[in-house]
């Protein structure tokens, strides 16, 4: 979802994940904000959109 996604945490960063879960539990508006961000990004991750992006990428870097 990218660095701009407020629920982002680096792989393996358990402390960051812990802080996010506590914030979600204690701040209902934060969870609503995450939901809004996910809904606004979901179109980018539909299967047909992903497939077209891969096809474009593979045309740029053909596999022999």
For the chain, the helix, strand and coil percentages under 3-state DSSP, each to the nearest 5: 70, 0, 30
Question: What sign does the dihedral 17-19-25-31 (CA atoms) show?
Answer: negative
Percent of the chain with pLDDT over 70: 98
Model pTM score: 0.64
Residue range 19-35, pLDDT digits in tens: 999 999 999 999 999 99
Q: What is the pLDDT of residues 4-13, one digit of tens each?
A: 899 999 999 9
**Per-residue pLDDT tens over the stretch 39-51:** 998 888 889 989 9
pLDDT band at 1 (very low <50, low <70, confident <90, very high): confident
């Amino acid at each position: 979802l990218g660095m701009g996604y407020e629920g982002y945490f680096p792989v393996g960063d358990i402390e960051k994940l812990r802080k996010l879960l506590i914030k979600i539990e204690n701040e209902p508006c934060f969870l609503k904000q995450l939901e809004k961000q996910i809904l606004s990004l979901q179109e980018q991750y539909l299967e047909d959109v992903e497939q077209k992006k891969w096809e474009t990428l593979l045309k740029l870097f053909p596999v022999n």
